[in-house]
Amino acid sequence: MGLKVSKKKHIIWQTIIMSGVACFLSVYLSFFIRQLFDMSFVVSDIILAFVIPAIISPIIIYVILEQAYELYHSKKKIEELVHKDALTEIYNKRYFETFAEDIFLSRRKCSIILIDIDDFKNINDQYGHLAGDLVMKETAGIIKSQLRETDIVARIGGDEFAIICLDAEAEYGKEIAERIRKKVEQTELSYLSNNICLTISVGCVSNENDEISLNEFIQNADAALYTSKENGKNKVTFIGCA
């Protein structure tokens, strides 16, 4: 509701400004045409040149601006549907892959963190898929709460998440990964009088080597994640790419 009111105010102010410009241009053109053709100056004509745009232009401009805003927000909603995961409301695998490709093409430094929820299948089997959905949403929320605005997180598989930390040193990637792991470990979900404890396994890599390809980078992150799983889960493994 507040957003709609804010949008209306913005459109109204833009309409007032643009209508004022339209009135000024109309009067200016009236003066210019009379001077160009050496016509006599008539005050009533000048007043008319101001009054007509003052009445008509606000209506036309307001309608056009409102339609433009609706089209813009509709486009944004469609983009969100294409790029966002419906359950967790974070980015999906398609967006993650496109974003990662752009980062590597621009040779920007980054860290990639892969996260897998430990024993997620057992949670689904024991408590049901609704509990599994709750775990997914809670985990996504925890991850988002620990990131900077410039970092992105996506759900890239059933219970797997990926994070890209932009312009980040290796130490930052490791710090974020461990912070998320601890936060999840401290979380206990309540579902139908059952308490569900969560842990995650994490793999982290940093592209310190400009020559490494995106596929190799992802493979290293997968290898780090696999190592965390093999070493007892609820761990962070870092693999440097120097």
Report the catalytic residues. Answer: 159
Of 124, 117, 118, 116, the residue nearest 191 (C-alpha)? 124
Beta strands in the chain, from DSSP E residues, in sequence order = 91-92, 110-117, 152-155, 160-166, 188-191, 194-197, 200-206, 236-240
Rounded Cα distance, 197 and 182, in Å: 12
Determine the 3-state secondary structure of 236 from DSSP. Answer: strand
Whether 195 contacts 189, CB under 8 Å: yes
Rounded Cα distance, 229 and 242, in Å: 24
Dihedral, 157, 160, 161, 164 alpha carbons, nearest 10? -90
Of 212, 109, 112, the residue nearest 156 (C-alpha)? 112
